[in-house]
Amino acid sequence: MQTREIWRFVVVTFVLGLAAQLLAVHGGVSGAGRQWLKFAMWAPAIAAMSSRSARRAAFAALRRSGGRWLGVALVVGWSLILVQNVLLLVLGGGNWNGALFVLEADGRGIVAVHDVAMALGVGQQGFGFFALNLLVSLTLGSLMGGVLGGLGEELGWRAVLQPELERRWGPVRGSLVVGLIWAYWHLPTNLAGYNDGAHPTWNALLFFPLVVMAMAFSFGWLTRRTGSVWPAAIAHGANNCISAGFLLTPQGWGWDTGTALAAAAVVGGLFALLSARRSKAAVVAQQGAAELAEA
């Protein structure tokens, strides 16, 4: 893609996405404006149709299934919340998620699982059945979220923009830049308190971008390894699904932001290292090819 085509993609994505988010905020993201929020999620995919090169990249990534990576994509998408829950458990900064389930007084069983779209039903359940219920529910919710919402964003961010920036700057810098663009594209809804009603400015300007940059590294790694947009789309849906609630809830804002940023550092750092190793390997391969050509 030429530079002007990249700029065209970014401009179209922001114009459509910001306009739709503003309409969503005006109508209420949980009410009449919700349809505009769904449209905003597909703005990057629409922008991917803005040039021949972008369309070619998007459809090429769409045609490759990456089906063997489904399990990996789910784990990658869940990883931030899973790591955060481990930190909350180890550090003692979390409570059992009462919105999802209620433990028996002696902690040996579950009195009730609430009606939160659990695939295998609600009510009293043993730990084993509840674990299966939670896994099936998260998997189905992640797949639906990936196809209905995550795909719209990932066709733009991962299939079009990130590969182009990585060709110019390498996987590490490319992931960082895409993460920042992706994060600040969410600015209208975040400033309106969609993700953090108590601290919207802090969330929109600093916390959310740091977390999203970690996801840019992990989702970019999936796309690089598979050549397909589907694993990143499923990971996106998985992240959105599990973020709605898991086993532990933080004991206040400090625990929430602290453990979430620590989880982002762990996950983002891991995939940044994997990206850097790939970048170094690519340089070595290019040098080897050049030496062979000279010989």
pTM over 0.85: yes
Q: Please name the residue that has the structure tokens 């079009």.
A: 160
Mean pLDDT on 265-276: 94
- Could you tell me the pLDDT band of residue 89, with boundaries at 50, 70 and 90? very high
Cβ(16)–Cβ(24) under 8 Å? no
Give the span between the Cα atoms of 168 and 244, in whole angstroms: 36
Whether the predicted pLDDT of 244 surpasses 90? no
Q: What is the pLDDT of residue 279?
A: 64
| pLDDT (average), residues 107-135 | 85
Q: Residue 37's pLDDT is what?
A: 92
Residue indicated by tokens 């949980």: 30
Q: Mean pLDDT across the stretch 282-288? A: 45
DSSP 1: -
Is pLDDT of 207 > 90? yes
Measured between alpha carbons, how far is 109 from 111 in angstroms, rounded to an integer? Answer: 7
Choice among 33-37, 111-115, 187-191, 252-256 with the minimum mean pLDDT: 111-115
Burial class (CB in 10 A: 0-12, 13-18, 19+), 82: middle
Q: What stretches of 92-199 show up as alpha helix (H) in DSSP?
A: 127-145, 151-156, 162-185, 187-191
pLDDT for 13 equals 98
Burial zone of 14 (CB within 10 Å; 0-12 exposed, 13-18 middle, 19+ buried)? middle
Strands (E), the chain: 94-96, 101-103, 110-113, 123-125, 248-250
* Alpha-carbon span 145 to 289, nearest angstrom: 42
pLDDT at 282: 57
Asked whether the predicted pLDDT for residue 75 surpasses 80, the reply is yes
CA torsion 175-226-266-98 (nearest 10°) is 110
Coil, helix or strand for 250? Answer: strand
Give me the amino acid identity at 12: V
User: How far are the Cα atoms of 41, 65, 105, 157, 279 from residue 213, in angstroms, in the given order?
Assistant: 18, 25, 41, 12, 18
Mean pLDDT (whole number) for 69-83: 97
Residue type at 102? V
Mean pLDDT calculated for residue range 44-61: 96
Q: Which residue has the higher pLDDT, 196 or 43?
A: 43
Burial class (CB within 10 angstroms; exposed 0-12, middle 13-18, buried 19+) of 295: exposed
With 0-12 / 13-18 / 19 or more C-beta atoms within 10 angstroms meaning exposed / middle / buried, residue 294 is exposed
Q: Give the residue, 282 or 77, on which the prediction is more confident.
A: 77
Predicted local confidence at residue 280, as pLDDT: 53
What mean pLDDT is predicted for residues 221-249?
93
Q: Which two tokens stand for residue 38?
A: 């769904």
Position 232 scores a pLDDT of 98
pLDDT in tens, 163-192: 999 999 999 999 999 999 999 999 999 999
Q: How many CB atoms lie within 10 A of CB 198?
A: 9
Least confident span in 82-86, 202-206, 284-288: 284-288
